[in-house]
Amino acid sequence: MIAGGVPSGSSNWVDFSAVKRAVNLETVLEHYQVQGLRRRGDQLQGCCPIHHGRRDDSFRAHLTRNVFHCFACQARGNVLDFVAAMERCSIREAALRLQQRFGVNVGMPRDGQKRELVRKEEGRNPPLPFALHGVEGNHPYLAERGIDLATAAEFGLGFYAGPGLMSGRVVIPIRNLRGELVAYAGRAVDGRSPKYKLPAGFRKSLEVFNLQRAVAAGGQAVIVVEGYFDCMRVHQAGFPWVVALMGSSLSAAQESGLRRHFEGIVLMLDGDAAGRAASETIAARLSGWRSVQVVRVPDASQPDQLTHSTIRQLLGAVGCPNEGDMVKQNLSPA
């Protein structure tokens, strides 16, 4: 581990670009005393020091590009991401530790420059450099959750039996507003823990699940649910302008993304105590919007447990703003 606390005063400022230029990945690997990596050209490969894989060959460090990727735990990124994953800390804390450890000299920029640099380094999830293959969209688990083949194909989800972090799970692709794949969520189908897995370093607070489709649908208002399957079931019921928070809280980045593209919001969170409380909190916070509606999902229920007809009835009861824009479909009542 990189020893030492974070110094006070002006040294609390981090120049992310300067740290990445000054400290290369090979030096950091040596500092962590990572053993057993084999050199092939400009790459080092071997067992991953992040998830401590001892019998795999999943880790790659590209020395010329100064980036790494593990095909098993899906950790990836630059030297800052590597230290953050090893130390279980934020990108900023990783940069501060590298800056102190290796004596990187940085200047003190103006406040506006500080904010811009922080946004560039910490304000996005990088696109994945790979995609999983052999995903089975016709797995029985999806049918049990009420997801039809067309929806599974559109969202790209299915059972993945290949190697790595998501092996033996239903994988759900997460894309940013530009449609770039930034992560997979892995749902256990056999009761194992954790129920959902996300790759190390992925910051779900920066993304809104299905935002790219909701924006493309062209509605003035957006329906907000908690989970992936809630989102897909509401979408299946004929409401393509639906997104999921991947939880019951709304981050500042998520709120900003929704505000840029929609004039109104329809909250359709779970019908449990946490969902009710979150609905009240978020509705109060977004009261400045032109329209904020709250759908009361039946007690102890989630949107993904409701029939299509019930979903449409609940949304119709609050006068869902986009209801008249619905594409006419031959939807089953299930």
Contact indicator for 97, 88 with CB cutoff of 8 Å: no
Residue 131 has pLDDT above 70, yes or no: yes
Q: Fold match between 9-122 and 208-325?
A: no
Residue 14 confidence (pLDDT):
74
pLDDT of residue 19: 83
Cα 22 to the center of its chain, rounded Å: 30
Over residues 146-199, the pLDDT tens digits come to 999 999 999 999 999 998 889 999 999 999 999 999 999 999 999 988 999 998
More confident residue, 110 or 317: 317
Q: What is the mean pLDDT of residues 128-132?
A: 88
Predicted pLDDT at 6: 40
Going by pLDDT thresholds of 50, 70 and 90, the confidence category of residue 93 is confident
Q: Which residues are CB-contacts of 216 (< 8 A; sequence separation ≥ 6)?
A: none
Domain 9-122 class?
A: alpha beta
Statement: residue 323 has pLDDT above 50 = no
| Rounded Cα distance, 153 and 284, in Å | 37
pLDDT of residue 105: 63
Whether the pLDDT of residue 119 is over 60: the answer is no
Res. 2: pLDDT tops 50: no
Question: What is the tens place of the pLDDT at every residue in 20-72?
Answer: 888 888 888 888 888 888 888 889 998 888 877 666 788 899 988 889 988 87
What's the chain's average pLDDT?
A: 85
The third-level CATH classification (topology) of the domain covering 140-203 is DNA primase DNAg catalytic core, N-terminal domain (3.90.980)
Q: Which residues contact 154 (CB under 8 A, 6 or more apart)?
A: none
Domain ranges of the chain: 9-122, 140-203, 208-325
Which two three-digit tokens encode residue 103?
Answer: 């004596």
Q: How confident is the model at residue 122 (pLDDT cuts 50, 70, 90)?
A: low
Q: What is the pLDDT of residue 303?
A: 98
C-alpha closest to that of 29 among 15, 41, 43, 16: 43
* Backbone dihedral region for residue 291 (phi beyond 0: left; psi -120 to 50: alpha; all else: beta): beta
Q: What pLDDT score was predicted for residue 54?
A: 61
CATH no., domain 208-325: 3.40.1360.10
